[in-house]
Structure 1
């Protein structure tokens, strides 16, 4: 998933959470648009952080797999000609 779609998806979730919050309180959904923007911004930042964390985790997993493969190669030893 791309960075932009991750941020937009989390931002829209933040907007939906804000609407849900106001719906539970039975308040006007459009009375304070600034709070909607703050909610979208906070959730968008969470989306950015989640994307960066996912990218870093993929790098760490690839490094660990390479280390494991190298260790398995050492344990197995050189291939024999039989």
Structure 2
């Protein structure tokens, strides 16, 4: 199965398909990025970040750097109004 077909799948189907794809294409940084995005959509935050980091280790110019920055920004958000003193 090619990466473009997998991108169109829902996270529950796409993640195992990306797993299989990456067995045969372990140096495809775009596939790690896309699997990370599917993990993020499924609520698997740590798995998504691990995939972004793997994509960046393969290609430091990868779009995964932007995804990682966005993920960190979301995770670092602090709203003091949500806490009672």
TM-score of Structure 1 vs Structure 2, range by shorter chain: 0.3 to 0.5
Q: By percentage of residues, which structure has more helix?
A: 1
TM-score, reference length from structure 2: 0.31
Higher RCO (C-alpha under 8 Å, 6+ residues apart): 1
If you compute each CA radius of gyration, which structure gives the higher value, 1 or 2?
A: 1
